[in-house]
Structure 1
Amino acid sequence: MTDTAQSGLYIDGQRVEASGGRRYPIHNPARPAERVGQAALASVEDVDRAFQAAHRAFPAWSARSPAERAALLRRVAEHLTADAVDLERRTRLFTREHGKVLKEAATEMGRLGSRFTDVADNAPRLMADERLSGPPFDTVIARKPRGVALLIVPWNWPLSILGAKLPQALLAGSTVVIKLPQQSAIAPAQTVAMIAEMLPPGVVNLITGEAAEIGDAMLTHPLAAAINFTGSVGVGKHVMRLAAERLTPVTLELGGNDAALVLQDAELDAAALRRLYQGAFMTAGQICMAMKRLYVHRSRYDELVQGLSAVAAEQVVGDGLLPDTTMGPLNNPRQLQVVRDMIQQARERGADVREFGAVPDPALYRQGHFQRPTLVLDPDPSLDVVREEQFGPVLPILPVDTQEQGIALANDSRFALCSSVWTADPERAMAVARQLEAGYTYLNGHGPLAQDNRAPFGGFKDSGFGRNLGFQGIEGFLSPHSISAPAGWLHKA
């Protein structure tokens, strides 16, 4: 089946074509021969049009009060789910162009609006200045929006990740230029256009296309006052180098190699095992905060491997639109090859590699970008599957003899995004969590299903810096403005 689904750009309050009407095709990762549709292929000229529109809209948008902006965010949230038929259409289209199972696509589409309402709840806090009373001075610390923000999101959860930075930028008073990923851009672009049409012209502008052609033009545009990027370490370093040319502030969320520690007293009932599985294998492991290394106390190792293997064996790998499918393909052939190379290296180095899950359609499996859920048992810690981010459905499981050894191994990474602790003891859980090098630590859970989106999210080391989500995510688009006067002077009648 070949569809004619299309998406354009959104600039200055209008859905527009790319310069010259250029488009590029997007194919179904489950069925690579199937063309899902076409997305707009923007040029450097289109990038400039988008920034100019955002720049023109900034004075009026930033002049609105946080309460006024919050009210518009709530209207956006309602608009996104008002048409149930269109929501289902976009969800199915998203599954076809991305590959994730329909249930996950529905979650991403259906819950985007809640990100806007959650952020809108911060308006009263944003309106309150901080005050320092004298002597020697009375000082007001206000906040000013930085200006036009460039928001760049990756292909794995584009709308959820956009929801972690777009409403925050808007509430802060910034106008935005959004760059969606080249892969799986059609349904997300249609959704962003729905957001933009609920706001004044120029407040939200959308670009799609090849990063090789327009990426540097976006990053170095003189009207970009802030850059918020989510993606790979390599590209993140490139973003930072180019941003440095204009001293543009950046927020970088660059993925991770999240460690989970299962302690000796952990509860490993059926529910816990399913949480462990979801923490590692949701969206075929293509999640930055997915569990990517699992350290288990040796006394519980065999029990955990047996239990997690049983959950993995229940999975059905295939087309995400099919009702029985629980794991779809990887999004693109490049990422599939990364994962397969790691698995092959582990096999060649003598690791115990076990693949699980049913494949109802072997011919489809061979054609698509599929990899069954895979456990790599007690591998050499120097293997790529342990040291690097897999970003796919493969999980190394390693035994440890002490809690201290587990903490040391978890921290022995160039990444520091997320981590998790699995124990029946709350005090022990907190004590261990405080020793882990991570921006976010989950207790007896891991990943999106364990995350409080009211809290800031991000990491350090090679996982980047700055935060999305939470009030801190809003502050990233603001600059403090200190205003001082002699003590008592501001209080005069």
Structure 2
Amino acid sequence: MSDQLTKSGVRTGLYIGGEERFTDEVLTVADPAKPGVVVGEAAAASPADVADAVAAAKAAFPAWSALSATARAAQMTAAIEGIAEARDDDAAILAQENGKVRMEAWVDSLVLQIRWGLALSLAEEVDAAKVLEPITGAIPTRTTVAHQALGVVTIIVPFNWPIAILGASLPHALLAGNAVIVKPPPTTPLATTRVIQRIAEKLPAGVLNVITGLDENMGGLIQNPDVAKVCFTGSVNGGKRIMEMASKSLTRVTLELGGNDAAVFLEDAILDDAHLDRLYAAIYDTTGQICMNAKRVFVHRSRMDEVVAGLTARLEQAKLGYGLDEGTTMGPLHQSAQKAFVDEIIQEAKDAGADVREFGELPAGDLAGGNFVRPAIVVNPDLNLRVVTQEQFGPVIPIIPFDTEEEAVRLANDTWGGLCGSVWTANPETANRVGSQLVCGYVWVNDHGATRLDLRAPFGGMKQSGFGREQGIEGVRAFQDTRSISHLDPEVLASMHH
């Protein structure tokens, strides 16, 4: 990799068919904390570049898919080696282009490595087939039900945890036998491109490709008839656009979309420091910009004061600042449009007379005018306010009282989303009873949030939070088709004619 540093910092290219490719047009990557500061430049692919990437992946697919899953796993094990060596540099770049604190940016690439290893541990299972034996006098065939790779797969990731999120699908798609094109986010392409290119360089040419560019030139990643599947993580509206585009070519889709996750604190919830720390992280990690963060906190009326006091104590320690600076606990929002939206829903709650409590101080100096928002809680708001009904994707949370378990379940499910949820109670039986009534794809007990995901388990949403599952053997099967091969058994057939 030619880590070309231009006057504006980091520069990344495309990676197509085993070769790095630079473009005349570039994406300029801005620092969301420092107005006017450029972090670097990424190549901006033309539709022709996109077509080349699809062609390269298509050409690489037959040989890659012909290997056994264990043979692919061996090559993938070698390809991820040394991934940690540049992690400090990658984290510094990601912190600057995304705005998140350095430690989170460092964990981003670590999670890819962990997920990669967990996917490879499934290699023996991938090629497993099921045999249906003939039934004398009824069904004269012996049928083998097996799985087959799809072909060329496009994986599109968002700005918030781009490298980690790739880990939920990229290794599974490759292990399943597909050739892959990764599309990093246009506003945070640099660190992701660097990491994935280093892996791609150690795989056969064309098996793994990277394309960055403006969305209007990316249609071929979805609508080219040679693309078999698109795996998209992003907003609900983004998912609707992807699905609409994919319908033209009947490209199949997995959609991992936004959430409006409910955390439900029952009357017997444990509210010690450890549990309150978990809740705080579940709300405010990545400045609230995580799809599976808690977005609505429902608390038994008798415990409201404790939850509010616990979050208040932690919010009073929050330090807004630059992601790379010592002591910063919360960076800016990634985009100015998102800052405007979060400011708006906080103001709307204030105007409605809600009890809005804000914390921390907005940074000054060269950070003045960055996309910073003071973290806030909204205590017992009207349930029709947007801070309750919409995904905030920022550092603000409504805390809502309830009186009965039935009411808590009803309120938690009364939303468009169904990504995750959590139940907080000292009683495991209660946790299972309430948790199993939540309409969402993943439920935590006495915990919540991305850092606590079981990376072996299938993950995905219900309702408008999307469909399809990532991780685990289910995540591998999502990148395969099921195929049946049926053999006639003459003896059984003969027995049917007597």
The TM-score bracket by the shorter chain reads over 0.9
**Structure 2: distance between partners of 1:91 and 1:75:** 22
Q: What does residue 347 of structure 1 align with?
A: 350
2:146 counterpart (138, 142, 158): 142
Q: Secondary structure at the match of 2:76?
A: helix
CA deviations on 1:56-105 (whole Å, 9 max, x unpaired) are 00000000110011112222232312x2xx32111111111111000000
Q: What does residue 279 of structure 2 align with?
A: 276
Q: What does residue 15 of structure 1 align with?
A: 20
The 5 A counterparts of 1:285-324 are: 285-324=288-327
Q: What does residue 336 of structure 1 align with?
A: 339
The 5 A counterparts of 1:449-488 are: 449-487=451-489
**Structure 2: distance between partners of 1:191 and 1:32:** 26
CA drift of 1:288 comes to 0.5
Distance 1:393 1:2, change over 3 A: farther
CA deviations on 1:267-302 (whole Å, 9 max, x unpaired) are 000110010000011000100000000000000001
Does the CA contact (< 8 Å) of 2:13 and 2:21 recur in 1?
yes
The 5 A counterparts of 1:88-127 are: 88-127=88-127
Letter in 1 for 2:464: D
Does the CA contact (< 8 Å) of 1:423 and 1:429 recur in 2?
yes
Q: What does residue 406 of structure 2 align with?
A: 404
Q: What does residue 495 of structure 2 align with?
A: none
Q: What does residue 27 of structure 1 align with?
A: 30
Q: What does residue 267 of structure 1 align with?
A: 270
**Structure 2: distance between partners of 1:323 and 1:437:** 40
Q: Secondary structure at the match of 2:36?
A: strand
Percent identity of equivalent pairs = 45
Letter in 2 for 1:12: G
Does the CA contact (< 8 Å) of 2:266 and 2:300 recur in 1?
yes
**Structure 2: distance between partners of 1:358 and 1:40:** 37
**Structure 2: distance between partners of 1:126 and 1:62:** 12
1:379 counterpart (378, 381, 405): 381
Does the CA contact (< 8 Å) of 1:76 and 1:113 recur in 2?
no
Distance 1:489 1:302, change over 3 A: farther
CA deviations on 1:414-441 (whole Å, 9 max, x unpaired) are 1111000000101110110100000000
Q: Secondary structure at the match of 1:468?
A: coil
CA deviations on 1:305-334 (whole Å, 9 max, x unpaired) are 011110111111100101101111111101
Indicate yes or no: 2:201 matched with 1:197: yes
Does the CA contact (< 8 Å) of 1:313 and 1:356 recur in 2?
yes
The TM-score with structure 1 as length reference comes to 0.96
**Structure 2: distance between partners of 1:197 and 1:274:** 41
CA drift of 1:110 comes to 2.5
Q: What does residue 70 of structure 1 align with?
A: 73
Q: Secondary structure at the match of 2:451?
A: helix
Cα root mean square deviation, aligned: 1.5
Does the CA contact (< 8 Å) of 1:243 and 1:249 recur in 2?
yes
Indicate yes or no: 2:233 matched with 1:224: no
Q: What does residue 3 of structure 2 align with?
A: none
Greater shift in the superposed pair: 168-177 or 89-98 = 89-98
Q: What does residue 209 of structure 1 align with?
A: 213
Greater shift in the superposed pair: 412-421 or 364-373 = 364-373
1:415 counterpart (399, 414, 417): 417
Does the CA contact (< 8 Å) of 1:374 and 1:395 recur in 2?
yes
Distance 1:435 1:488, change over 3 A: farther
Q: Secondary structure at the match of 1:108?
A: helix
Distance 1:489 1:183, change over 3 A: farther
CA deviations on 1:8-39 (whole Å, 9 max, x unpaired) are 10000011113xx2112111111122111111
**Structure 2: distance between partners of 1:364 and 1:391:** 25
CA deviations on 1:379-421 (whole Å, 9 max, x unpaired) are 1100111001111111111000111101000000011110000
CA drift of 1:41 comes to 0.8
Does the CA contact (< 8 Å) of 1:153 and 1:229 recur in 2?
yes
CA drift of 1:217 comes to 2.7
Does the CA contact (< 8 Å) of 1:79 and 1:194 recur in 2?
no
**Structure 2: distance between partners of 1:479 and 1:489:** 31
The TM-score with structure 2 as length reference comes to 0.95
2:51 counterpart (48, 51, 65): 48
Does the CA contact (< 8 Å) of 1:353 and 1:374 recur in 2?
yes
Q: What does residue 175 of structure 1 align with?
A: 179
Does the CA contact (< 8 Å) of 1:77 and 1:114 recur in 2?
no
**Structure 1: distance between partners of 2:115 and 2:35:** 32
Greater shift in the superposed pair: 302-311 or 134-143 = 134-143
Does the CA contact (< 8 Å) of 2:34 and 2:368 recur in 1?
no
Does the CA contact (< 8 Å) of 2:35 and 2:367 recur in 1?
no
CA drift of 1:460 comes to 1.5
CA drift of 1:115 comes to 1.3
Does the CA contact (< 8 Å) of 2:263 and 2:296 recur in 1?
yes
Does the CA contact (< 8 Å) of 2:262 and 2:421 recur in 1?
yes
**Structure 1: distance between partners of 2:365 and 2:381:** 31
**Structure 1: distance between partners of 2:100 and 2:469:** 26
1:187 counterpart (184, 191, 195): 191
CA deviations on 1:109-145 (whole Å, 9 max, x unpaired) are 2232121111000011112111222212322111000
Letter in 1 for 2:276: L
**Structure 2: distance between partners of 1:171 and 1:304:** 44
CA drift of 1:247 comes to 1.3
Does the CA contact (< 8 Å) of 2:110 and 2:164 recur in 1?
no
CA drift of 1:469 comes to 1.3
Does the CA contact (< 8 Å) of 2:112 and 2:165 recur in 1?
no
**Structure 2: distance between partners of 1:100 and 1:228:** 24
Q: Secondary structure at the match of 1:80?
A: coil
Letter in 2 for 1:340: D
